[in-house]
């Protein structure tokens, strides 16, 4: 995978891991790896005290965290040699449960799909060859199922199980979307609604929209004709929140573009997008 793909995956990982936390119930927050053992240094951006007991966890930067992920996690699991989607699914396990566990789960998933691999947790050339021999969608499902099965056996499953289940579900669906797009879907962001009320609120909203009018119409022109195809490809993954939002947006784009073409076909003239609203 390319460096740009790694950076895109990192954005998703950092979103899942969040900022600094020092939950005393989490063994990972202790330098000794067990609750009450060693120092409570916490976890930040997924960099945990039990794995990095000599780091100043609270003051680590995002750039430092990404570099640690590249050296300590992405390289050992052969991130660059895994197919898009599978790379994210495996890396997220390594970050959450360790490199060896990621290797064990990947090898176990391959075995369930009928591939002959050593269940030693090592991701070497033979493992990469077996990965290339199976359907990526089936492999992502097998990896995700095995990951959840492992998590359910952990003693702190009752405390964190709900969040872990949600995370694995999101990673599963986004990994599958990468089979279509090659990269994780960008997260959509929306500006907060204007705080003004009444007639003034409408003016504020129009002012905010002026700056994006051209971009929106340009986007319609660029992806309008392709939106139906993209939507059809993403529908199998529409149960995950982010992709559901994208599907909704693409539906609106598709309908809007259809109306636009209909107006064009009937010879109607559209007002320029940068024209000022009449008083």
Nearest to 46 by CA among 152, 64, 38: 64
CA–CA separation, 271 vs 5, rounded Å?
40
Residue 240 is part of which domain span?
A: 198-265
Q: Is residue 192 assigned to a domain? A: no
Asked whether residue 142 falls in the same domain as residue 115, the answer is: yes
Question: What b/e readout covers 187-224, taking b as 16+ CB neighbours within 10 angstroms?
Answer: eeeeeeeeeeeeeeeeeeeeeeeeeeeeeebeebeeeb
Asked whether residue 216 falls in the same domain as residue 151, the answer is: no
Which two structure tokens, joined as six digits, stand for 228? 């139906």
Residue 231 has pLDDT above 90, yes or no: no
- Count CB-CB contacts under 10 A for residue 50: 19
DSSP code per residue over 139-160: HHHHHHHHHHHHHHTSTTHHHH
Q: Which residue has the tokens 């998590």?
A: 151
Asked whether residue 16 falls in the same domain as residue 72, the answer is: yes
In this predicted structure, what is the pLDDT of residue 40? 93
Q: 119-128, 175-184, 193-202 — which is least confidently predicted?
A: 193-202
Q: Is residue 277 assigned to a domain? A: no
Asked whether residue 128 falls in the same domain as residue 233, the answer is: no
Question: What b/e readout covers 155-171, taking b as 16+ CB neighbours within 10 angstroms?
Answer: eeeeeeeeebeebbebb
The last residue of a domain, from among 149, 181, 213 = 181
Residues 6+ apart with CB under 8 A from 177: 85, 184, 185, 234, 237, 243
Q: Which burial class, exposed, middle or buried, applies to 260 when counting CB atoms under 10 A from its CB (0-12, 13-18, 19+)?
A: middle
Identify the residue with better confidence: 166 or 16.
Answer: 166
Q: 14-28, 101-115, 210-224, 242-256 — which is least confidently predicted?
A: 210-224
The last residue of a domain, from among 146, 181, 216 = 181
Report the CATH number that the domain containing residue 110 is assigned in CATH.
1.20.141.10
Asked whether residue 158 falls in the same domain as residue 215, the answer is: no
Asked whether residue 107 falls in the same domain as residue 233, the answer is: no
Q: Is residue 51 assigned to a domain? A: yes
Asked whether residue 152 falls in the same domain as residue 258, the answer is: no
**pLDDT > 70 in the chain, percent:** 63
Q: What is the largest CA-CA distance in the chain?
A: 76
Confidence bin at 244 (pLDDT 50/70/90):
low
In this predicted structure, what is the pLDDT of residue 180? 77
CA–CA separation, 105 vs 94, rounded Å?
10
Q: Is residue 154 assigned to a domain? A: yes
pLDDT digits (tens, 9 = 90+) for 149-173: 999 999 889 988 999 999 999 999 9
The last residue of a domain, from among 126, 151, 181 = 181
Mean predicted confidence (pLDDT) in 225-231? 48
Asked whether residue 135 falls in the same domain as residue 254, the answer is: no
In this predicted structure, what is the pLDDT of residue 270? 41
Out of 96-100, 181-185, 223-227, 241-245, the most confident range is: 96-100
Q: Is residue 190 assigned to a domain? A: no
In this predicted structure, what is the pLDDT of residue 19? 87
Domains held by the chain: number? 2
Phi, psi of 48 (to 5 degrees): -105, 155
Residue 207 has pLDDT above 50, yes or no: no
In this predicted structure, what is the pLDDT of residue 268? 44
Q: Is residue 96 assigned to a domain? A: yes
Asked whether residue 36 falls in the same domain as residue 153, the answer is: yes
Contact 138, 112 (CB under 8 A): no
Mean confidence (pLDDT) of the chain: 76
Q: Is residue 88 assigned to a domain? A: yes
Residue 210 has pLDDT above 50, yes or no: no
Contact 123, 86 (CB under 8 A): no
**pLDDT > 90 in the chain, percent:** 45
Asked whether residue 9 falls in the same domain as residue 135, the answer is: yes
Q: In Å, what is the CA distance from 193 to each residue of 27, 204, 206? A: 41, 10, 12
Q: Is residue 275 assigned to a domain? A: no
Query: Residue 21 pairs with which residues in a beta bridge?
Result: 43
Residue 198 has pLDDT above 70, yes or no: no
Residue 190 has pLDDT above 50, yes or no: no
Asked whether residue 18 falls in the same domain as residue 153, the answer is: yes
In this predicted structure, what is the pLDDT of residue 217? 40
Q: What is the pTM of this model?
A: 0.63
Asked whether residue 131 falls in the same domain as residue 238, the answer is: no
pLDDT digits (tens, 9 = 90+) for 32-58: 989 999 999 999 998 999 989 999 999
Residue 147 has pLDDT above 50, yes or no: yes
């Amino acid at each position: 995978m390319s460096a740009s793909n790694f950076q895109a995956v990192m954005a998703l990982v950092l979103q899942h891991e969040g900022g600094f936390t020092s939950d005393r119930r989490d063994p990972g927050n202790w330098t000794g790896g067990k609750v009450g053992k060693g120092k409570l240094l916490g976890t930040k951006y997924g960099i945990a005290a039990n794995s990095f007991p000599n780091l100043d966890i609270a003051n680590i930067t995002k750039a430092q965290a990404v570099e640690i992920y590249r050296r300590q996690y992405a390289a050992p699991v052969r991130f660059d040699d895994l197919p898009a989607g599978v790379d994210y699914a495996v890396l997220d396990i390594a970050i959450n449960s360790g490199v060896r566990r990621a290797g064990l789960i990947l090898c176990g998933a391959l075995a369930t799909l009928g591939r002959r691999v050593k269940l030693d947790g090592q991701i070497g050339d033979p493992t990469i060859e077996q990965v290339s021999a199976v359907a990526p969608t089936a492999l992502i499902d097998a990896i995700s199922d095995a990951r959840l099965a492992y998590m359910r056996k952990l003693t702190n499953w009752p405390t964190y199980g709900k969040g872990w289940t949600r995370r694995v579900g999101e990673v599963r669906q986004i990994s599958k979307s990468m089979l279509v797009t090659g990269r994780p879907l960008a997260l959509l962001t929306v500006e907060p609604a204007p705080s003004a009320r009444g007639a003034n609120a409408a003016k504020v909203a129009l002012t905010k929209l002026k700056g994006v009018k051209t971009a929106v119409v340009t986007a319609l022109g660029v992806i309008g004709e392709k939106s139906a195809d993209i939507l059809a490809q993403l529908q199998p993954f529409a149960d995950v929140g982010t992709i559901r939002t994208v599907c909704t947006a693409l539906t609106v784009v598709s309908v809007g573009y259809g109306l636009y073409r209909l107006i064009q076909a009937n010879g109607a003239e559209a007002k320029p997008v940068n024209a000022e609203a009449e008083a």
